[in-house]
Structure 1
Amino acid sequence: MRRVGEFIVVFFIVLTFFYMKPVVLSQKSPKAVDELVVNEVKPQTKSTPHNQLNATGMATIIGLSEKELKERMPNPKNEWVVGIDRKWLVYGDNATDYYQVELTKGKVSSVFVLGTQVDVAPFNLEMTLGDISEITTIYPTFEFDYKDKTYEIELTEDDMNYRPLISFDNGTFALLHFNYDTGKLLGVRYVSKSTLVDMIPYQFSEKTTNPPVELTDDEWEKFNQANTDQLLTILNIVRQRINRNPYKLDTELVLESKKALAEFNKDPKLVIKKEARFEQWQEKVESSNPSDSFLLVNEEMERLLKLGKPVDKNTHGLFVQSMGDVPFIVTNWFVNRFDQREIKDSKDEYIGIAYNKNQVLVLFNQKTVDTSLTTESSDKR
């Protein structure tokens, strides 16, 4: 009996050990994946309060009348009328002193700076995003009031990395455009609240549209010629900044780009064959958002180029639907890793530009068919 009692005691001790072991280990072991509780972080819909920098330099001329502007900055080198009650005054002509001032209904509505020696304090055009972060926080959301309405803006991750928005204490803003290749500040665009609302360069919390403007054929021709000059000038200033030779306008490439656009508009499905893509394109055609652009993918661009019957197979290009704001679109080409490849090629020397209302096709090549038909952009200024 004694041995039986000892056996029973030992049996219960062993049983207790094996029973308790999983309990103890389970307290130390990590939970299975399907038992973990994941706290999902959702983006806040309410705008984050943001600091405002003291308005200095170019930020202080927003809102001036044309007369007041010319008293401060006399003798602009050029003038481009690009819309109804909208024009640009151009100052400087090279990579160190270039900037242009936009006038809308007779008042300064924005300033676009590319010149490395132009005062854009507290910024400079050698800064990286890290340098900017030492001056101010890069915010993902903004909120402001304009015309009895509250606007909320949300920046994407790409926006914050390559096109952050900065606000000043006089109610103006600056869009900072960074070069995708170098990571350095490419240009600064100072804007009023009204210009920010009209441009719609970021995602707004509610649908924001601009009423369509009906233009005559003569007005389209006038404005698009000005935009052609503006596009070529800005491209060449930036190419100086990245140590590239300026483009020369080539008549053959211009003819090819015009022909390609004309054929495309006769039958867009010759280029955009997929139904989903075609529907996207139609939405952009009908859009009144000047920054709402449609870009062709590689195979679509190849089809478009063939419509122009290019003389040289090395011709390549960029197409944009809804080309409302030239400085905004061109700087976006340089911050986009795919588009900037088309315009940073050191071998390209010649360019052809064609507009069709809110469409533009830009062709590039290393050589010209007939040098006698070529003019440099400087001849236009």
Structure 2
Amino acid sequence: MKTFLRSLPLIFIMLLATYWLPEVISRNPADIITPKEESEIIQSESFDYQTTDLEPEKLPVAGLGSYVGQKIENFTEKFGNPKRIDPTVYEEESWIFGKDETDYAQLIVKNGIITDLFVLGSELDVAPFKIGMSITEVFQLASFYPTYSVENQGEQLTLELTESDLNYRPLIAFDNQTFAVLMMDRSTNQIIAVRYLDSPSLIRLGVYDDGSKKHLIPSFEVDEIRQDAINEANQKQAYEILNILRQRYELSALTPSDALTGVAETIFTNQGEQIIADRQADKESSFSETETSDNAIKNQNSSIETFILDDNSDSIDEQTNQPYQTLTSEQIERTLQETELELNEVRVLYSIQETDVAWLATNWFSLEIERNFLMDASMTEIGLFYRANDMLLILH
């Protein structure tokens, strides 16, 4: 009996270890976390902040942000000449500096004045912030506000930020009437780029709701020769930015492929030819053009990973600055089936681009599907083709 009583504490400890300890361990998310679970944990942390309806705080301008509004000569005196100067649709110049993950930057220059400065390089000065800074550290430096009053050409506009904007594209105001957009990586909740802009550039970028889309439409015509030059510049910038971000996450660079670019161009060409054929058949069969268009828009189940990105809730085809019909997954897959590409080895990303490449590429990293798509380690080649505001990107 004494032996049994002496053994009771040991039995209790054994029962404790058998039933209670595993339950505690199973509740500890740090032991085994799948990538999906890790992403969910990180994303849930990103919502732990307080916004205020007070007048937005204006931080003292510092770092590269202080060059917005200055002459481009002030910048080149310190950082040297750009590696190239690209044309833009707004008849400004895009000055490209740097070559890799540490020093890449783009400046928009209008009449010799810097109006927009996109910083991607991890070693460049974006004080008071830093590339790679976590959202928690950002909260300690600045408050996030859901509305901003911005003056543009004598008109006062109110920008309204959504919850997604506040988490992945927060806006910061500075005391020199300029702004910074912090581009956050959805998976790491770290800053991957900082975009400094003056008020007109921020309005024209059109990424925050101001109740109007009129600023997105260029007020001038772009001739075919200039448009080709702009498309080529956009293509180069997309390759650079995406490969720099892959480099940052220790992934191999994507090799530009003329063959994939050719496939992307053919997809647009085939769509145009199919539309003409459909309209002709429509006339012959006395069906209305509206019925034919409606049928064409219905996507069938696709065996290829195709993401159609549309930043606007309105119908793209109804917008005055979108001269072409929106591509469908069915149209894209139909052309791909005519190539030698294996559909399960191809990724296609289609976008109606109403913002510039710098915004588009970094904003993809705030979207889970698109980020995973671009960070696919098995992809080695990239092709990209533009048709006016349409952009088609193919990875293989």
Q: Given the two structures, how large is their TM-score scaled by the length of structure 1?
A: 0.75
Deviations 1:107-132 (A, max 9, x none): 21111111111111110122122211
Shift of 1:101: 1.2
Superposed CA RMSD: 2.5
Give the gaps of 5 or more residues in structure 2.
1-51, 276-292, 300-309
Of 354, 373, 377, which residue of structure 2 is paired with 1:346? 377
Distance 2:178 2:184 in 1: 20
State which drifts further: 260-269 or 71-80: 260-269
Give the secondary-structure state (helix, strand or coil) at the position aligned to 2:315. Answer: helix
Contact 1:253 1:363 (C-alpha < 8 Å) held by counterparts: yes
How do residues 17-36 of structure 1 correspond to structure 2 at under 5 angstroms? Answer: none
2:297 equivalent in structure 1: 272
Distance 2:163 2:90 in 1: 34
Deviations 1:142-193 (A, max 9, x none): 1122321111010000000000000100011001011111111111011111
Deviations 1:55-75 (A, max 9, x none): 011111111223333223322
Of 324, 334, 352, which residue of structure 1 is paired with 2:365? 334
Contact 1:110 1:189 (C-alpha < 8 Å) held by counterparts: yes
Give the gaps of 5 or more residues in structure 1.
1-45, 289-293, 366-381
2:119 equivalent in structure 1: 113
One-letter code aligned to 1:360: M
1:307 aligns with 2:338: no
Distance 2:105 2:371 in 1: 21
1:252 aligns with 2:259: yes
Distance 1:125 1:282 in 2: 38
Shift of 1:315: 1.3
CA distance 1:169–1:267, shift in 2 (3 Å) = farther
Contact 1:91 1:98 (C-alpha < 8 Å) held by counterparts: yes
Shift of 1:305: 3.5
Distance 1:118 1:129 in 2: 19
Of 318, 321, 328, which residue of structure 2 is paired with 1:286? 321
One-letter code aligned to 1:66: I
Contact 1:271 1:304 (C-alpha < 8 Å) held by counterparts: no
Contact 2:206 2:355 (C-alpha < 8 Å) held by counterparts: no
Give the secondary-structure state (helix, strand or coil) at the position aligned to 2:237. Answer: helix
Contact 1:79 1:89 (C-alpha < 8 Å) held by counterparts: yes
Distance 1:295 1:244 in 2: 32
Distance 1:238 1:204 in 2: 30
Give the secondary-structure state (helix, strand or coil) at the position aligned to 2:230. Answer: helix
Shift of 1:306: 2.7
Of 133, 148, 152, which residue of structure 2 is paired with 1:146? 152
Distance 1:145 1:162 in 2: 24
Give the secondary-structure state (helix, strand or coil) at the position aligned to 2:215. Answer: coil
1:222 equivalent in structure 2: 229
Distance 1:341 1:310 in 2: 25
1:100 aligns with 2:106: yes
1:173 equivalent in structure 2: 179
Contact 1:48 1:142 (C-alpha < 8 Å) held by counterparts: no
1:69 aligns with 2:69: no
Deviations 1:81-138 (A, max 9, x none): 2234312212211111211211123321111111111111110122122211110101
CA distance 1:303–1:85, shift in 2 (3 Å) = closer
CA distance 1:287–1:172, shift in 2 (3 Å) = farther
Give the secondary-structure state (helix, strand or coil) at the position aligned to 2:383. Answer: strand
1:240 equivalent in structure 2: 247
One-letter code aligned to 2:224: D
Shift of 1:200: 1.2
One-letter code aligned to 2:202: L
Identity %: 27
Deviations 1:235-283 (A, max 9, x none): 1111111211111011211111110122234456586337xx9971313
Give the secondary-structure state (helix, strand or coil) at the position aligned to 2:95. Answer: strand
Structure label with greater radius of gyration: 1
1:78 equivalent in structure 2: 84
Distance 2:138 2:109 in 1: 28
1:54 equivalent in structure 2: 60
Distance 1:295 1:112 in 2: 29
Give the secondary-structure state (helix, strand or coil) at the position aligned to 2:365. Answer: helix
Of 353, 378, 383, which residue of structure 2 is paired with 1:322? 353
CA distance 1:295–1:154, shift in 2 (3 Å) = farther
One-letter code aligned to 1:246: A
Distance 1:273 1:285 in 2: 23
Give the secondary-structure state (helix, strand or coil) at the position aligned to 1:103. Answer: strand
Distance 1:279 1:113 in 2: 31
